[in-house]
Amino acid sequence: MTTWTSTPALGTSRRTGRDPAVVPGGLPRWAFVPAALGGLFVVLPLVAMGTRVDWTNYWGLITSESARAALALSLQTAATSTVVCLVLGIPLALVLARGRLPGQSLLRSLVLVPLVLPPVVGGVALLSTFGRRGLLGESMEVLGLQIAFSTTAVVLAQSFVALPFLVVSLEGALRTAGERYEVVAAGLGAGPTTVLRRVTLPLVWPGLLSGTVLSFARALGEFGATITFAGSLQGVTRTLPLEVYLQRESDPDAAVALSLLLVAVAVVVIAATHHRGPSR
């Protein structure tokens, strides 16, 4: 709880804060040049976009009816997707980190696929599953459930792309934490559910938190799978990234203003997770 690994998301167990190789002065000087370029590469486009913003009309641009509808829908769907990710992702990470099932490494690879898949491909895959003529879609249609073009489709698309972020973060944290305390607790007579609730989850809490925030951020930024699978209708499926993409066509100023709004949300989200940052 007191110590954060700086990269729990990647599942490394190295506590970089204590690694002598990265103490200032121990670092080769040449490394600062590409490091500075790398930082600039990320920051410069964001600053450049800031210079394009029509500040005098900014408030009007981000509070238009369509912008408010898109923001509200984005926050609502991203929050719902995060819950879906937690419900499905925590057990999945536990199984991957602690289970001893055959084919587990294959399962891990498969779960991580959406991480590297272009989201539009994810959209096509979801369409093949939940679409009207999809694998499950046909039976759902019979039951009167229509997924495509609904807000549910947006949540499915976002959960699909965001789930791996939670699983990777949490699994890394679980592996780093090890099983010592769990073994002790079990030896003292605690049942598996008690061990999970009282020992395991509190131990990996920082990893779980950062995984949650990462999946929320990923869900909030989801574009490709949504536009392919869910469609685009104000207040129903047109989330903020889709609204930005559409506004580019007719109102570039609005597109830039809304982009900056998304950047602001992203910064707040990241600041919230790294607030208690890596221990020094």
Where along the sequence are the contacts to other proteins (CB under 8 A)?
45, 49, 118-120, 127, 131-133, 148-149, 221, 223-224, 227, 231-234, 237-238, 241-242, 244-252, 259
Q: C-beta of 237: minimal distance to other proteins in Å?
A: 7
* Smaller CB separation from other proteins, 176 or 259: 259
Q: C-beta of 239: minimal distance to other proteins in Å?
A: 12
Q: C-beta of 121: minimal distance to other proteins in Å?
A: 11
* Smaller CB separation from other proteins, 18 or 132: 132
* Smaller CB separation from other proteins, 173 or 214: 214
Query: 191-205 as b/e, with b when 16 or more CB fall inside 10 Å?
Result: eeeebbeebbeebbe
Residue 70, number of CB atoms within 10 A of its CB: 25
Q: C-beta of 11: minimal distance to other proteins in Å?
A: 24
* Smaller CB separation from other proteins, 22 or 135: 135
Rounded Cα distance between 280 and 277, Å, is 9
Nearest to 98 by CA among 31, 9, 195, 189: 195
Residue 20, number of CB atoms within 10 A of its CB: 6
Q: C-beta of 125: minimal distance to other proteins in Å?
A: 13
* Smaller CB separation from other proteins, 89 or 131: 131
DSSP state of 6: S
Q: C-beta of 179: minimal distance to other proteins in Å?
A: 39
* Smaller CB separation from other proteins, 5 or 259: 259
* Smaller CB separation from other proteins, 116 or 188: 116
Rounded Cα distance between 266 and 226, Å, is 19
Q: Where are the alpha helices (DSSP H) in the chain?
A: 32-51, 58-62, 65-98, 104-116, 119-130, 137-142, 151-177, 180-187, 192-195, 201-203, 205-221, 224-229, 240-250, 252-274
Q: C-beta of 250: minimal distance to other proteins in Å?
A: 4
Rounded Cα distance between 140 and 138, Å, is 5
Long-range pairs for 264-269: beta carbons < 8 A, 24 or more residues apart? 265/220, 266/217, 266/220, 266/221, 269/213, 269/216, 269/217, 269/220
